[in-house]
Amino acid sequence: MTKHAWDNYVRYAWGKNELRPISKRAHTGSIFGAASLGLTIVDGLDTLYIMGLHDEFKQGREWIATNLKNLEDINADFSVFETNIRYVGGLLTCFSLTGDVMFRDKAEEIAKKLLPAFHTPTGIPNALVNFKTGASKNYGWASGGSSILSEFGTLHLEFSYLSDVTGNPVFREKVDTIRNVLQNMDKPKGLYPNYLNPKTGKWGQQHMSMGALGDSFYEYLLKAWIQSAKQDHEAREMYDTAMDAVVTHMLQTSQSGLMYFTELKYERVEHKMDHLACFSGGLLALGAQTLRNTVSTKHIEVAEGIANTCHESYVRTNVKLGPESFKFTEAVEAKALRTNDKYYILRPEVIETYFYLWRLTKNQKYRDWGWDAVQALEKHCRTSSGYTGIKNVYQDDPVKDDVQQSFFIAETLKYLYLLFSDDSLISLDEWVYNTEGHPLPIKGVNPYYREHQP
Ligand code: DMJ
């Protein structure tokens, strides 16, 4: 599957960001636009390496060495978060795996282009930065000029590691500042709202979510602790407190017994869960396994419950792949109701959770569920020229969206491969995955950490 996705990207969209597998050309409407930034190459390269596709890896490495440069000439706005998780994260993993300093230097070069976004009164970065001018801003739709929790809260792993491998402290300083701001904020009921104004340092709308706008902030608290070989106690405490509040105020069980995370808008509870929020099954299991305390038993139970619900969201469709977002009402459970929520864009989160739960519980059902997803992907998303998303999972033969997302190779296929591999391949004892599926080494434990020697 990976060969098929990669080879067709090479054939029809080489050097561009993503492939349109049906029209057999580049996808210019991706989050990195029409620029030739090789997004699929950078995002997918560690997957190729892990799978032993070495010729393909070499081809991608050469493209990056030769073409990923002159960023200061690009007069366009880029997402700080997406650039970090896909480019900086992807390159750092390739550096760690291979020791090839070209990857480290490119990661640093790109991360430096993000730094102007941190020039705000609080140090909370703006969402978008122009690589040429350095001007930065927030999205117009984000609660009165707010920055977004899942974006500014998902930089810690890459920035800390980058400081350690380059010897340049500036990156860690930036994420430490973000951490301090968050530590000192009042949290309504212990919860973190999704919007924070970088100028005033005040929360925007009190919208709380384990899905879009919140998700990977929680993930990076736990993973910062893991990455530091359990030395970053502040991160672990923040994770434990945050998840305690989330489980207390956002976890629900449906009439038929399905566990799910709701969203909160001030006091209003929305009984909806995003596909994105399905990553939380894996996260809770990882958090429970790495610290065996009184809460662990509860968290592993919730992790398995969330995995089951997300699996149900797949099973209750015609194509056996889940919708973007699903609801719980008196009439339906784990199903999308609005047309706009019925699409599937090759997202990884459900398979990611199967991967963690397989590694941590060894229950065969997670491999079986992963294999069912493979069959469904082959039947409905595979085309003669790559893989596509689909527009309505409740139809037998849905319309295809004609986009092979870069995270399909970076995450979906990587987690599937690892689900069926030995535990020693990118072991959870030595590696911690960034939110785009790029494994980063654990400090002091993994010899591939490759810390800068002065
Ligand atoms: C990926 O870019 C990352 O997993 C991110 O954390 C959330 N969205 C996509 C995949 O769905």
With a 6 A CB cut-off, is 408 part of the ligand 1 pocket?
A: no
10 Å Cβ neighbour count for 152?
29
pLDDT at 150 over 80: yes
Task: Give me ligand 1 centre to Cα 324, in Å.
Answer: 12
The answer to whether 309 is a known ligand-binding residue is no
pLDDT at 157 over 80: yes
Per-residue pLDDT tens digits for 97-108: 999 999 999 999
pLDDT score at 312: 99
| Averaged confidence pLDDT in the chain | 98
pLDDT score at 30: 87
Task: Give me ligand 1 centre to Cα 354, in Å.
Answer: 16
Closest-CA residue to 22 (of 35, 37, 12): 12
With a 6 A CB cut-off, is 27 part of the ligand 1 pocket?
A: no
pLDDT at 345 over 80: yes
Residues β-bridged to residue 208? 264
pLDDT score at 352: 99
CA quadruple 292, 290, 252, 202: dihedral sign = positive
Q: Closest residue (by CA) to atom 6 of ligand 1?
A: 435
Residues β-bridged to residue 386? 383
Which of the four pLDDT bands, split at 50, 70 and 90, describes residue 294? confident
Q: CA 99, CA 121: separation in Å to the nearest integer? A: 38
Q: CA 33, CA 245: separation in Å to the nearest integer? A: 38
Token pair recorded at residue 368:
């079986």
Q: Which atom of ligand 1 is nearest to the CA of 347?
A: 11
Q: Which atom of ligand 1 is nearest to the CA of 150?
A: 6
| Cβ density class 82-100: b for 16+ within 10 Å, e for less | bbbbbbbbbbbbbbbbbee
What amino acid positions are annotated as catalytic residues?
82, 215, 324, 349
Q: CA 390, CA 400: separation in Å to the nearest integer? A: 4
Residue holding tokens 């390159």? 91
pLDDT at 276 over 80: yes
Q: CA 220, CA 348: separation in Å to the nearest integer? A: 17
pLDDT at 356 over 80: yes
Mean pLDDT on 358-375: 99
| Helix residue ranges per DSSP H, 128-279 | 149-152, 156-166, 170-184, 215-227, 233-250
Q: CA 227, CA 290: separation in Å to the nearest integer? A: 12
Q: Which atom of ligand 1 is nearest to the CA of 345?
A: 11
Assessment of whether the complete model's pTM goes beyond 0.95: yes
Task: Give me ligand 1 centre to Cα 411, in Å.
Answer: 8
Please provide the CATH number assigned to the domain covering 2-445: 1.50.10.10
